[in-house]
Structure 1
Amino acid sequence: MRPEHDLYRLLTGLRPHLVPGRYVYATVTGAPPAGLDPVVTVREAEGRTLVVRQEEADAAGLGYDFVTGWITLRVHSALDAVGLTAAVATELAVAGISCNVVAGFHHDHLFVPYARAEEALAVLERLAEDAVEAAG
């Protein structure tokens, strides 16, 4: 499958999916503790940020203060596509839902407050439906 660049095709093909589970952001200064399977790792000057399942963080004794739901946009977005992140973030912002976006090679992944994950999913599904209607 070829990655998509066209914003209307990206939006109409969004197909958001809520991944089961609770995910948290934690930080470590060295290597991640053994047994962790982070879904995201980011190196920063202050340490390594890990997004892991909440139960993994608890078992490893990692501190965190933000529990998220993980939504995958199943459209195959090109890494150099323009506008998808802005469109998604705008719709969620209008609904008052914070969003942390991570781009994978094939898909974009959104981490939203766990308590509002189902609502965020509904917002994204509406965004896709509205794009289909607009494309006519």
Structure 2
Amino acid sequence: MKQNKPVRERRAMLAGMKPAPCTGSYVFCSTTDQEVIVAARERALAVFHEQEGVSFVLAKDVAVELGFDASMPMSRIVLGVYSALDGVGLTAGVATALAELGIPCNMIAAYHHDNVFIPEEMKELALSVLEALQYASSSIDGAE
């Protein structure tokens, strides 16, 4: 499978991010219970081992089924740009644009794409902010 070259330059990352909303609700949760860890691991969108326990990003229905608090459901927006792992500024640019309108976000950078998680009720506003940021970044002379 041919892979595109990763983008490193801040403006090019922002201009190429193509924010795309995903369906579904997600919950961030953590546990030290080994049975729950085993049950959640294969169904998780993301897993991270922290000193305090194993953290998961789970679909809301899975989180509820496993007994986690699902009172803060999050929506997911995938940034379509293939940002380089050593690229600088994508997360800062996205978080700053959202923060200016009081939209909290949690970023998860995976290998190919960055993912933005925002409170469900702010999904449409966040998407419009990210689309405006992408447009503004692509309109600047010299943007790739």
TM-score range relative to shorter protein: over 0.9
Matched, 1:57 2:63: yes
Return the match for 2:83 from 77, 91, 94: 77
Contact preservation (8 Å) 1:101, 1:108: yes
Aligned-residue sequence identity (percent) comes to 37
Task: For 1:72 and 1:108, locate their aligned partners in 2 and report how far apart those are by CA, in whole Å.
Answer: 6
Q: For 1:109-124, list aligned pairs within 5 A.
A: 109-124=115-130
Matched, 1:6 2:12: no
Partner of 2:21: 18
**Gap regions ≥5 residues in structure 2:** none
The TM-score with structure 1 as length reference comes to 0.93
The TM-score with structure 2 as length reference comes to 0.88
Q: How many residues of Structure 1 are paired with residues of Structure 2 in the alignment?
A: 136
Task: For 1:5 and 1:46, locate their aligned partners in 2 and report how far apart those are by CA, in whole Å.
Answer: 33
Task: For 1:35 and 1:87, locate their aligned partners in 2 and report how far apart those are by CA, in whole Å.
Answer: 31
Task: For 2:83 and 2:50, locate their aligned partners in 1 and report how far apart those are by CA, in whole Å.
Answer: 26
Contact preservation (8 Å) 2:60, 2:73: yes
**Gap regions ≥5 residues in structure 1:** none
* More strand, by proportion: 1
Considering only aligned residues, what root-mean-square deviation do their CA atoms show, in Å?
Answer: 1.5
Moved over 4 A (4+): none
Return the match for 2:94 from 69, 88, 107: 88
SS of aligned partner of 1:125: helix
